[in-house]
A and B are shown apart, each in its own frame.
Chain A
């Protein structure tokens, strides 16, 4: 078998610059082999090395006394949640694969992030996702795009949701929350960001380290095929028709059943104490897992490719090293304990092979039938990717954004139709068509299902992986008759179960219109959603989705966005525990709006604090925390608003500003009111402003299939500042929360909020069969069943067309 010779053309095809190639030659002291070239190209891709963003990522706050494993150390960050327990969580993108093959692209995105979590020794207990597509309805197309595109956007949405459902449901992880946005900027470039959270005890944290010289290295999982060849490199370039066609074969195929087996086997392996280190083969497959584990442990690693199980005949070393076949793990075992490990592989009927050993050479050596095909210093390959400080230039379009004034758009005369339109706009409408396809209750932990501000799960005792020495069998050990299955056997009183809230947020329109302020808003909204559910933030994981960083205008978006995110995460004490960068999200029609998706995890102290967004009882008082209108904003909250987009087809205007300290005060005040038991419902005001938040509080309580509790409200905004009607009802000023309290407590709550430094207004009363809003300019009423129908069916109706 002859390998291609290394030419400048071949180097270019691997997306390596001549300078990078020179650096490789300096590291090796010679020309790389073909396989080595491939190995360097994937490890030095943006996806694996963050070479364009590393200097920016270093500005994130990454420390707090709760953080047990910090950003960049391992496959996922880990945060202490008290009582010896911790959560591991992370978000990751699978954008390019989903654009090419939505079902498998999204499915394997879920699989990849689940592996990142159990690799840490944690049992995955819930999944969340953030999705973005081009418009799926004609009226929502921002500037009239052709029907064929709408049909394609629907195809992508159906495929992605189907793929996530297929993988998550079969694996048995509840998909408990998410967000879905539609905008023409995602046409042809959908975003699929998948999040997973797992639970473990502090002493169970597993490391991705190839430690212990002489320890054997095991490969476990299905055989390696040609699927997903160099997927990491594919994800690190612009998406064109040509690249998509070429790369269709680069999309991996997921097998959730296999993932379940691998996960259970790995958790069981860790419980034996026989494992020295473990890492999944995700992006860049065998290459990444071998060199990173060696680099982390300051050791070397040597593997023999002929021992790697192979699915296709005649695979080359290059193909084996770069394959991204799914559900594979690399396990480093303490020497002498191989038999224990093999027994567990056999129990779960998993293919496995001992493929190498840990060495003290500091080198990653790969042999094929004894012949050395790769011999590189592991640490330099894993950690010494070039770092680029890209040029940033303020984008031209921001000039016209800033020049926009409200004189350009007429105020509303009748808001009735506007609210109906907004509530049926797919980005605001109910996402039940999506989340009803996900098993969001498996594992018996979902306390607040999708459809409120944040999902809430409880951590029940069987979610915590077993520890060594606790492998018991028999009645009430929860185990089988003969097999030794690890299980945490001690029942935990239900009242002591930890409660975790999770939300994922990003209004990318704001970020496009003002990357710094918009990114602060994304974090603030996530923190606000947690507060509305009764939780205080623990930490953040971010997924930075942007266009091509070589374009200085795009790099400006990245730089400013990271500045905003870092500042906001600091203020909300929600340090970044890790995340993912996805660049090159652009096609010949342009780049996506900058989309720094924020997933935030919070802790709820007591179950009495769990709060949902819908109104509860007739006669309750409705209180607005925060000012109805920000009069210091020349656009009165309409810049970048859903109202401008939907009513006027304009995506422009400076978005509302975000005073982080004030927001933090608001969240703390709300939590303080929740702790005293006064708050019956809390809902954050975001897209569509006060009117949409009120409508959602009236109509979003689902009891069961076809059964909804619709609760009316009368709201009087006539003491609010006399501004334009569209600004009052649909303006999106930041820092507003709509709560309801028992009428008896209304005065007390308003007073306490003021003492806590937060503006509070008793604006209405819960009850009746309609939503009625009174302003200085008139009074309007909306029929709830009609609003509900529009909101609930919008996406389903579009998808049935």
Chain B
């Protein structure tokens, strides 16, 4: 499958995503510069982590206006798969492709550590390979990862099973102390109503090789690949 990975001037997880997709999973991957307005006909788009344009104002606030994000919007509207990781999640929320916002961590500090995630549904292009009940271990690294939305939005997310991951303890309990940022309902990642756009704060690309201590993150990329292999021809037809 072909993955386009966006590259903003201060993206810093772009190469990591390329590395995992290409060298670990054997997929095709390319970077797409933020000034571009074409994505290069990919099967899926990754909006990687980093600081886009420095993010001094508010994470993702400037990136939403970039030419490449307009292309991503069109791609998503046509049903294409888009995954935002960390800063990518923040950008997708700012761009209106995902509901809600990511605000300052409750600790007011940047947090970098491994966390446990509970996957709430296998029914999405991003989670279909993750076994039910499996608690996955993936690192986070962010200062503004506290997911926030009004009660109505949260309710809708729950109703539509759009919440894909919640922070949990080692044994799968969704406890407040398990969250590194104070997100509402321990939300770590969500998808849109149509289920083709998702975002999460943890970094699956940093947990895709056993050498780095965990390869649970591979399950997310493998889900995308499997979904594309099964579903994409059907969609195209």
Which A residues form the contact surface with B (CB < 8 A)? Answer: 162, 165, 169-172, 255-258, 260-261, 264, 348-349, 435-444, 446-447, 449, 458, 460-462, 474-483, 485, 487, 491-492, 494, 607, 702-707
Q: How far is the CA of A706 from the CA of B40 in the complex (A)?
A: 43
The 5 closest A-B pairs by CB, nearest first: A172-B12, A257-B54, A704-B114, A480-B33, A444-B16
Q: How far is the CA of A255 from the CA of B10 in the complex (A)?
A: 12
Known: A481-B32, A704-B115. A437 touches B20 (CB 8 A): no
Residue interface bits B7-50, CB-to-A below 8 A is 1, else 0: 10110110110111011100011111101101110000000011
Q: How far is the CA of A727 from the CA of B33 in the complex (A)?
A: 62
B182 to chain A, nearest CB (A): 13
A475, A485, A705 — most chain B CB neighbours (10 Å)? A705
A705 and B115 contact, CB distance less than 8 A:
yes
Binds A, one of B72-80, B105-113, B150-158, B227-235: B105-113
20 contacts across the A-B interface (CB closer than 8 A) = A169-B110, A256-B51, A256-B54, A257-B54, A258-B54, A261-B10, A435-B112, A436-B113, A437-B109, A441-B141, A442-B49, A442-B141, A444-B13, A444-B205, A461-B19, A475-B40, A476-B22, A480-B31, A485-B7, A487-B31
CB-based nearest B residue for A607? B211
Which secondary structure dominates where chain A touches chain B?
Answer: loop
Question: Which A residues lie within 8 Å of B36 (CB)?
Answer: 480-483
Contact of B7 among A435, A474, A480, A705 (CB under 8 A): A480
A508 to chain B, nearest CB (A): 28
B interface, size bucket = 35 or more
Residue B169 is within 8 A (CB to CB) of chain A in the complex: yes
Residue B145 is within 8 A (CB to CB) of chain A in the complex: no
CB-based nearest B residue for A171? B12
Question: Which A residues lie within 8 Å of B170 (CB)?
Answer: 703-704, 706-707
A441 and B178 contact, CB distance less than 8 A:
no
Question: Which B residues lie within 8 Å of A256 (CB)?
Answer: 10, 51, 54
CB-based nearest A residue for B26? A491
CB-based nearest B residue for A123? B15
Contact of A442 among B12, B31, B38 (CB under 8 A): B12
Residue B89 is within 8 A (CB to CB) of chain A in the complex: no
A772 to chain B, nearest CB (A): 26
B29 and A257 contact, CB distance less than 8 A:
no
CB-based nearest B residue for A708? B170
B21 to chain A, nearest CB (A): 10
Q: How far is the CA of A462 from the CA of B13 in the complex (A)?
A: 12
A608 to chain B, nearest CB (A): 11
Residue B2 is within 8 A (CB to CB) of chain A in the complex: yes
Q: How far is the CA of A257 from the CA of B53 in the complex (A)?
A: 7
CB-based nearest B residue for A456? B211
Contact of A441 among B22, B53, B139 (CB under 8 A): B139
Question: Which A residues lie within 8 Å of B112 (CB)?
Answer: 435-441
B49 to chain A, nearest CB (A): 8
Q: How far is the CA of A438 from the CA of B115 in the complex (A)?
A: 16
A704 and B137 contact, CB distance less than 8 A:
yes
Question: Which B residues lie within 8 Å of A264 (CB)?
Answer: 9
A485 and B31 contact, CB distance less than 8 A:
yes
Question: Which B residues lie within 8 Å of A255 (CB)?
Answer: 54
Q: How far is the CA of A441 from the CA of B35 in the complex (A)?
A: 28
Contact of A169 among B7, B19, B143, B209 (CB under 8 A): B143
Q: How far is the CA of A411 from the CA of B111 in the complex (A)?
A: 42
| Further pairs besides A441-B206, A475-B28: 15, Cβ < 8 Å | A172-B10, A172-B12, A260-B9, A260-B10, A439-B110, A441-B212, A443-B12, A446-B212, A474-B30, A475-B30, A478-B22, A478-B29, A482-B36, A704-B113, A705-B115
Residue B60 is within 8 A (CB to CB) of chain A in the complex: no
Question: Which A residues lie within 8 Å of B193 (CB)?
Answer: none
B76 to chain A, nearest CB (A): 18
Q: How far is the CA of A513 from the CA of B132 in the complex (A)?
A: 60
CB-based nearest B residue for A480? B33
Q: How far is the CA of A348 from the CA of B203 in the complex (A)?
A: 26
B141 and A705 contact, CB distance less than 8 A:
no
Q: How far is the CA of A417 from the CA of B178 in the complex (A)?
A: 31
Q: How far is the CA of A476 from the CA of B33 in the complex (A)?
A: 15
B15 and A170 contact, CB distance less than 8 A:
no
A478 and B115 contact, CB distance less than 8 A:
no
A114 to chain B, nearest CB (A): 13
CB-based nearest B residue for A478? B18
